[in-house]
Structure 1
Amino acid sequence: MAHLDTQPPADETGQVVRLLELLAADAPLSEVAAVDAPSPARELALRIAGAREVHQHREAGLAALLDTARELAAASDPGSVLEAITRRARRLVGTDLAYLTLYDPEAGDTFMRATDGSVSAAFQSVRLALGAGLGGLVASTHKPYWTADYWSDERFRHTSAIDGAVGEEGIIAICGTPLLVESHFVGVLFAANRSSRPFTREEVALLGNLATLAAVTLVQTRALADAEHAHETVRQYADGVEKAAAAHDRFASLVLGGGGVDDLTAGLAELLGGWAVLTDETGARQSGAGPAPEPRPGRRSRGADPVGAFDSLPELATGRLVEHGGVYAVAVTAARERLGTLYVGGVGALSDSEQRTVERAGLVTALVLLFERQAADARQSARNRLVSDLVTRRGSREERLSLARTTGFDPQQPFSLLVLRGDDTAGQRALLISASAATGENALVGSHDGDVVALVPAAHPGPEPRSTSSAPAAAAPSGAAGTDLASDPDALARSVAARIGKRTCVTVAGVGPVSDVDAIEVAHDEAARTVGALIALGHRGQGAAATQLGFAGLIVGSDPDVDDYVRKLLGPLADYDERRGTDLLGTLTAYFAAGGSPRHAAGTLHVHVNTVSQRLERIGALLGESWQSPDHALELQIALRLRALQAPA
């Protein structure tokens, strides 16, 4: 028989090679899209090129922000800072002009302070009342607003003074974002265009990051200018100013050098000569340096940690430094969101300049955490798309295998699949973070259809014996010493539910082991049905596999093992009958059919009632004392019925 030629045509191979050459050369997306290659290869190349352009754009934005930080750090007075801010804003967003208004607390409005690209004198001297125009709305709400056509946008209260100045400047599209330092409003930063221009969310976020950096720098520059004018005060606190300058240089160099929160806490502890600890928004320690008090072993609550004992004090909400029992604390916030708390201790009484150093450290820490969160969110978004592709079998098998392996997860090796469903009050982002921590760094965790899905690789091939104990498994991730939970989906589900349940209620269903990328869809469907069954059966907040749900597991399972179910329940009686030649199974069937009456069962079996009683005692000895409880009896009756249906006609 002649062999069929399965090789692709030479021209298709050449187009695929062309795609690879373009990707290797970092060609733009438009060039990759112009190649007429086979559909799967072209689609994958477009996804890779598109993802690369997104990352390049994000990296360019972060690099521009770092360049801005360097330029702002070199500015010596508030005027040069404002000019640098508007110049950078216009360049980063790519608009016709940029401008900045500052808040006047005495007049209760904002006034134009710096512009770049403006040609109208009336526009450069305009004042905006709170709530008037786009800028007034940003100033009154402390939230960003943007519009592609200011004149037709009815969200803003138009006034003759503002509209006249905007019209003279020829502005059509405007984006404004507030300058906030903690909860204090400083002003508004704008980017505007003289033609209709929609603003993307990435551009709004970039302008917001610049505004955050600008606000912090502006306040610092103002403070420095005030200090320079107060010559006598500077002389009295020369040592404090020197420490503050050293702290500023230290923090700036750490951030510009790519340092993280560990470097910031270490630098703060070194500057002040004590210890520093950073906790996250839940009160758990995230970083620490120096001889800080250790948390009490075996407990994770805030009250068990002497460092975070006053994490919930209302004074922290002011954004100022709080002292309690010789420990100083400042809330780490960004965009009015609490990201954590920075603690300092072992330093005695802090001077004013040292207190400002701690507060400055809190601001810088917030900026670093914000950047880290944005990067983590981008990575998680890619994982969410990959998990969704895997559980829906979207794309070719080769594409799914390749994309999964780029994350370090091999879907051709044994793993268990978990579906985690939290309460409506549980945040999806928090549940994703908790699931990643509970399943280990080797797991692939993402969201799909409102649930969190975790693919947890086994430490070695082949399933472990399935646990039948009802006690919760040890709360350890995959690969823990003494057991491989990922090979036992029931134990893994119970372990993950127990770990995350310390913070929030989550129901977990496990399926596995699975060892093929095409089997993920079926495994996910079974796990989703199982988690729904757990909640419907009143087991919210617990974990289990479908095989551990008794007869309910037969309903939700994609491949119900009826033989195993019947054997598990009736095996002791069947073995006894086979060894002794008795008919305990028939007696049990007659007993249930008679409504639990030994006398009526004896009539059906044509034996004495005492014989039935003796057999029932033997059944109790073999099945356990709970065999007549409602739940156990129901399972036994279902097993007897299934056994009868399995019998040949």
Structure 2
Amino acid sequence: MGPPSFLDLLYAEASRESFDEVVARAERDRLPEAEVEELRAQRRVALRLREQFVRQRQREAELSALYETASDLTAIRDVDAILSAIVRRARQLLHADMTYLSLNDETEGASYMRVTDGALTAEFRKLRLPLGTGLLGLVAQTGAPYHTDDYQADERFLHRDYIDTAVAGEQIRAILGVPLVVDGTVIGALLAVHRTVRTFPPAEISLLTSFAAHAAVALQNARLFEKTQAALADVDEANRQIRAHSQAVEVAASAHDQLTDVLLRGGGVADVASVLADVLEGALVVYDAERRELATAGDAVDVPVDLADAIREARGSGRSVELEIPGCGHVYVAAALAGAEHLGTLVLHRPREPLGLADRRTVERGALVTALVLLFSRSVAEAEDRVRGELLADLLSGRDTDPARLVDRARRQGADLDSPCVVAVASVRGLDRHRAAQVAARHAGELRGLGGDHEGQVVVVVPGTDATAVGEALQARIRGAGGSCTVGVVTSGPGPKAVAAAYPEALGCLSTLLTLGRSGEVSDPAGLGLARLVLGDAGPHELDAFIADAIGPVLDYDERRGTGLVETLEAWFTSGSRPAETAKALHIHPNTVAQRLDRIGRLLGAGWRDPARSLDLQMALRLYRLRRLTGPTR
């Protein structure tokens, strides 16, 4: 049995050393250098895939924990169990040595431990910190996240002896803390610690923030339930209100069950919108961060006001915002947030009665679920973009010299390289490089092509033969994203080799456009006119193509009809564009000259007499005569 292949190692989740051993064995066996080099290339690809698999599994574990936490929120009567699960899962997912959650006591001006997981000492579980003291007290007071690589050595925080003693007893070094916020008020903090010095990457901060949001939802639900229970002891009017409120809580629990089910079965934004519109008896529209519509459920109404202020308020408070718009019923705006990042906006329209408090919490919970769905979708899309970007780089740079393999890789990504293609290279302004590459990749994917960033330029390769149309479509997408671009385009034959050969020509078109100051234009080599000959490679083929592009319709007409339009056009330019002089030179009547010029205009199109165009025509006529001396041009 031979040595394992890289695919076998990937399937077995082998260590990196196992991949290196395959190459080392080939070197020890003195295989040909070409085969060893091929194995090295395969090892690089396999290791990239292995790293991507590891990141994907980690992301799936994070989402699974968040989904399980969201499911636990249905047990709104057992807050301690929910908070314990949140602290436990946060510790597991962040691989922390200990996690704990504190609640603020405003009367005493302190924050006290409510739940811990991984604590070593009983003293730490009973710790109370004055607001502003230590890292926990600072988070609980300011409502801002804080982290430190080594708490004992960090002089940013106000240290107290009894706190430092408790921290030393737990052997705590690195700490990350995020606030618990309810209705814009800080009620406590959620913290994760390590007993070694280390840093906290942004992904861990965002993840702990999401857990803190779940904890705040659980606490808020418990408070609502406790208010309902207390109201049961009141008079008949209070009992009526309790029944209504209890019904609203049941509706909220039902909505949460359905939203949890959407998460667990991998539903999308449209599924979330459908659940909320049905439960809340309204119409709902979900927008992305740039206010592009993502999903609609129910008979949505176009809100006739700018939502910017409402979205800003919803982002700051974490709560839904009600808009008072005459003639539009009741409109509510909620922001879908992941930490401080704004991922989308929910707009709910209720034509009749306004939402109660519990129903508004359901809208906000729906916004939280929407944020989770969008985060997962973005993670998947980014992974796909990386794979497609690597394929585009291999295609254009020629690193992968196996055409069949490139075609197969493209086919697996939904791209077609078997048909004639258009290669478009764009210089983009007004968008950062990453955003421009994203827009190009999405646009190309919709056309069964490839797109992204290559060597600092935005490139798309899509099936088709109308190069100008492809360039203009790309330009429109960049413009729609808030940028502008100049685009060089070339039509290539089918297959990776033809595409790779067309890329430098498209890049040359772009460079020529920028050199000529023609920013914002789209052009193929033919559209460059005389500049193509002056700035490009002017061989016989390029000369003939230039002649055909400039005066080809006139040459074809003369050949079919036996007319003398080319001779007339030459005489017209020679005479300084004077009809009488042209007629005299050709020995024909001026009316005949006018008729021929009219025919030339219909063949060449409007603007043929413009100075820049006429220069191209005169050069083409001269080259046509010279080429006839060396051989036929058509």
Residues 138/591 of structure 1: CA separation in 2 closer, same or farther (3 Å cut): farther
* 1:413 maps to 2:419: yes
Partner of 2:35: none
Q: Deviations over 1:138-165 (max 9, x none)?
A: 974735x5454445567x4454556555
Partner of 1:380: 385
Q: Deviations over 1:434-492 (max 9, x none)?
A: 762576262333333454433223xxxxxxxxxxxxxxxxxxxxxxxxxxxx2212122
Letter of the structure 2 residue corresponding to residue 125 of structure 1: L
Residue 99 of structure 2 aligns to a residue whose secondary structure is: strand
Partner of 2:268: 260
Whole-angstrom distance in 1 between the partners of 2:186 and 2:344: 19
1:139–1:188 Cα contact (<8 Å) kept: no
Normalising by structure 1, we get a TM-score of 0.76
Letter of the structure 1 residue corresponding to residue 495 of structure 2: D
Residue 278 of structure 1 aligns to a residue whose secondary structure is: strand
Partner of 1:362: 367
* 1:629 maps to 2:606: no
Partner of 2:502: 523
Partner of 1:240: 248
Q: Deviations over 1:358-391 (max 9, x none)?
A: 3332332233223322332333233333323333
Whole-angstrom distance in 2 between the partners of 1:644 and 1:141: 81
* 1:453 maps to 2:432: no
1:109–1:127 Cα contact (<8 Å) kept: yes
2:180–2:188 Cα contact (<8 Å) kept: yes
1:390–1:521 Cα contact (<8 Å) kept: yes
2:444–2:461 Cα contact (<8 Å) kept: no
Whole-angstrom distance in 2 between the partners of 1:278 and 1:577: 61
| 2:129 aligned residue (117, 127, 130) | 127
Alignment of 1:202-281 (within 5 A): 202-231=203-232, 232=234, 234-235=242-243, 237-281=245-289
In the TM superposition, residue 264 of structure 1 has moved relative to its aligned partner by 1.9
Q: Deviations over 1:177-218 (max 9, x none)?
A: 444569665544322211233445544444344334334334
Q: Tell me whether 334-343 or 575-584 shows the greater mean CA deviation.
A: 575-584
Partner of 2:64: 63
Residues 189/514 of structure 1: CA separation in 2 closer, same or farther (3 Å cut): farther
Aligned length: 586
Partner of 1:562: 543
Partner of 1:297: none
In the TM superposition, residue 262 of structure 1 has moved relative to its aligned partner by 1.9
* 1:314 maps to 2:302: no
In the TM superposition, residue 494 of structure 1 has moved relative to its aligned partner by 1.9
Whole-angstrom distance in 2 between the partners of 1:216 and 1:422: 44
Letter of the structure 2 residue corresponding to residue 321 of structure 1: V
Whole-angstrom distance in 1 between the partners of 2:112 and 2:611: 77
Two-structure CA RMSD over aligned residues (Å): 4.2
In the TM superposition, residue 312 of structure 1 has moved relative to its aligned partner by 1.5
In the TM superposition, residue 48 of structure 1 has moved relative to its aligned partner by 2.9
Residue 76 of structure 1 aligns to a residue whose secondary structure is: coil
Letter of the structure 1 residue corresponding to residue 329 of structure 2: G
Alignment of 1:531-546 (within 5 A): 531=510, 533-534=512-513, 540-541=519-520, 543-546=522-525
1:570–1:636 Cα contact (<8 Å) kept: yes
Residues 308/533 of structure 1: CA separation in 2 closer, same or farther (3 Å cut): farther
Whole-angstrom distance in 2 between the partners of 1:589 and 1:173: 82
* 1:495 maps to 2:473: yes
Partner of 2:29: none
Partner of 2:21: 34
1:77–1:225 Cα contact (<8 Å) kept: no
Residue 22 of structure 2 aligns to a residue whose secondary structure is: coil
2:228–2:246 Cα contact (<8 Å) kept: no
Residues 166/635 of structure 1: CA separation in 2 closer, same or farther (3 Å cut): farther
In the TM superposition, residue 326 of structure 1 has moved relative to its aligned partner by 1.0
Residue 118 of structure 1 aligns to a residue whose secondary structure is: coil
Residues 571/191 of structure 1: CA separation in 2 closer, same or farther (3 Å cut): same
Whole-angstrom distance in 2 between the partners of 1:269 and 1:411: 43
Partner of 1:476: none
Residues 185/141 of structure 1: CA separation in 2 closer, same or farther (3 Å cut): closer
Alignment of 1:608-647 (within 5 A): 620-621=597-598, 623-624=600-601, 626-640=607-621, 642-643=623-624, 646=627
Whole-angstrom distance in 1 between the partners of 2:131 and 2:532: 65
Alignment of 1:335-350 (within 5 A): 335-336=339-340, 337=342, 339-350=344-355
Whole-angstrom distance in 1 between the partners of 2:125 and 2:622: 86
In the TM superposition, residue 317 of structure 1 has moved relative to its aligned partner by 2.9
Partner of 1:175: 176
In the TM superposition, residue 59 of structure 1 has moved relative to its aligned partner by 1.8
Alignment of 1:64-143 (within 5 A): 64-74=65-75, 76-102=77-103, 111-120=112-121, 121=123, 125-127=127-129, 129=131, 133=135, 136=138, 140=142, 142-143=144-145
Residues 541/312 of structure 1: CA separation in 2 closer, same or farther (3 Å cut): farther
Residue 310 of structure 2 aligns to a residue whose secondary structure is: helix
2:172–2:195 Cα contact (<8 Å) kept: yes
Q: Deviations over 1:599-630 (max 9, x none)?
A: 9x99xxxx879989899867744543744422
Question: Where do 5+ consecutive residues of structure 1 fail to align?
Answer: 1-10, 294-305, 458-485
Whole-angstrom distance in 2 between the partners of 1:439 and 1:556: 33
Whole-angstrom distance in 1 between the partners of 2:84 and 2:457: 48
In the TM superposition, residue 93 of structure 1 has moved relative to its aligned partner by 1.6
2:9–2:19 Cα contact (<8 Å) kept: yes
2:330–2:354 Cα contact (<8 Å) kept: no
Partner of 1:5: none
Residues 89/506 of structure 1: CA separation in 2 closer, same or farther (3 Å cut): same
Q: Deviations over 1:295-329 (max 9, x none)?
A: xxxxxxxxxxx434335262343222324321422
In the TM superposition, residue 111 of structure 1 has moved relative to its aligned partner by 5.0
1:276–1:289 Cα contact (<8 Å) kept: yes
In the TM superposition, residue 88 of structure 1 has moved relative to its aligned partner by 1.6
Whole-angstrom distance in 2 between the partners of 1:215 and 1:645: 83
2:176–2:193 Cα contact (<8 Å) kept: yes
2:132–2:158 Cα contact (<8 Å) kept: no
Whole-angstrom distance in 2 between the partners of 1:136 and 1:598: 89
Query: Could you tell me the percent identity over the aligned residues?
Result: 32
2:87–2:99 Cα contact (<8 Å) kept: yes
1:491–1:544 Cα contact (<8 Å) kept: no
* 1:404 maps to 2:410: yes
In the TM superposition, residue 103 of structure 1 has moved relative to its aligned partner by 5.3
Residue 237 of structure 1 aligns to a residue whose secondary structure is: helix
Residue 343 of structure 1 aligns to a residue whose secondary structure is: strand
Partner of 2:44: 43
Whole-angstrom distance in 2 between the partners of 1:179 and 1:531: 53
Alignment of 1:459-478 (within 5 A): none
Residues 184/373 of structure 1: CA separation in 2 closer, same or farther (3 Å cut): farther
Q: Deviations over 1:103-147 (max 9, x none)?
A: 56678775544322223526852536559648737974735x545
2:334–2:363 Cα contact (<8 Å) kept: no
Partner of 1:303: none
Question: Where do 5+ consecutive residues of structure 2 fail to align?
Answer: 27-38, 235-240, 315-319
Letter of the structure 2 residue corresponding to residue 357 of structure 1: T
Whole-angstrom distance in 1 between the partners of 2:498 and 2:276: 51
1:281–1:340 Cα contact (<8 Å) kept: yes
Residue 35 of structure 1 aligns to a residue whose secondary structure is: helix
Whole-angstrom distance in 1 between the partners of 2:54 and 2:449: 27
Residues 442/256 of structure 1: CA separation in 2 closer, same or farther (3 Å cut): same
| 2:442 aligned residue (424, 436, 446) | 436
2:74–2:256 Cα contact (<8 Å) kept: no
